Chains A and B, each alone.
Chain A
């Protein structure tokens, strides 16, 4: 069955997007990405280390011609910083598909939705295709869609917390009312969390810490791959109805 993941008119096979932060080294990052079979990876924009001319480059381990780089604005607390970061990212390789995240608080890492909406508007006008990290407020996500976001990416719980999806109802409402893909972007801690997100009907998930901080990131990456596939297929198959009492699975006739 054809079930492609379409973002901004581009089709992807995998509904799992993985982050590339927090790994031991680029080799481990590359191994984990490979096992995850993700088609899209998020990347950050940072200053080149001038003093160390031989430091390895992410691009030497993950070929941007083979995998879609999704530049992010992690660490940006103002619209101005986020815009600057993504304009630089675009200059680096003509990346138009970007992940916007404007944070509002260092402790919770919750998004600042006022700055986020403002930035989305500007980026869309500049020709970017903007996937937006956001709160799980259906009014805010509707507004994001109205200003042209190409994907809505609400958090399940705070970034890097591993608490899983704490807001199932909101995520469901957001999915129901959105006409662009909905991707759970933060808080997933283990494979079953990814499956739950997909079973709720979300179009995809974005995972970094749950893979990178597991004891065996490469194995966890593979596990996430299957978790997302399982959740998606389960959603499409439409689960059975719940009952309050038991119902036998074997025929009750012709018992010996």
Chain B
């Protein structure tokens, strides 16, 4: 862990640190989020679920993870 460089991203509006080179898939796993139940936007673009694994997050990336909640 100490040997890895850190990337600072914006996650749902707040600063968040990940390891440099981490994929979106890895971020979701670390957050214990089941990918079938959310949708993800990176820098304003929706990311298809099959692309999570190969999408490497970079410094300053803006990541939005959304889900369904109760609403009228």
Contact = CB atoms under 8 A, between A and B. Distances in A.
Interface of A: 19-23, 26, 29, 42-48, 50, 53, 57-59, 69, 71-72, 74, 84, 87-89, 91-93, 159-160, 206, 208-209
Interface string B1-43: 0000000000111101000000000000001110011111100
Interface residues of B, number: 26
A92 B71 contact: no
A55 to B, nearest CB: 10
Given A29-B70, A45-B66, A50-B31, 7 more contacts: A19-B70, A21-B72, A22-B72, A44-B69, A59-B68, A92-B38, A160-B72
Interface of B: 11-14, 16, 31-33, 36-41, 46, 48-49, 64-72
B37 A57 contact: yes
B67 A72 contact: no
Given A88-B39, A91-B39, A92-B39, A48 B71 contact: no
Nearest to A53: B32
Nearest to B46: A91
Q: Nearest 9 CB-CB pairs, A to B?
A: A44-B71, A19-B72, A208-B72, A20-B70, A91-B39, A92-B39, A88-B39, A43-B68, A21-B72
A92 B46 CA distance: 10
Given A57-B37, A91-B46, A46 B72 contact: no
B67 A57 contact: yes
Contacts of A43: 68-71
A134 to B, nearest CB: 15
A44 B68 contact: yes
A87 B70 contact: no
Nearest to A101: B72
A50 B39 contact: no
Contacts of A74: 71-72
27 contacts: A21-B72, A22-B72, A29-B70, A42-B72, A43-B70, A44-B68, A45-B39, A46-B69, A47-B13, A48-B31, A50-B11, A50-B14, A50-B31, A50-B65, A57-B67, A58-B70, A59-B67, A59-B68, A72-B71, A84-B41, A87-B46, A88-B46, A88-B66, A89-B68, A91-B49, A92-B39, A159-B72
Contacts of A160: 72
B18 to A, nearest CB: 12
Q: Which of A43, A69, A87, A209 has the most CB of B within 10 A?
A: A43
Contacts of A44: 68-72
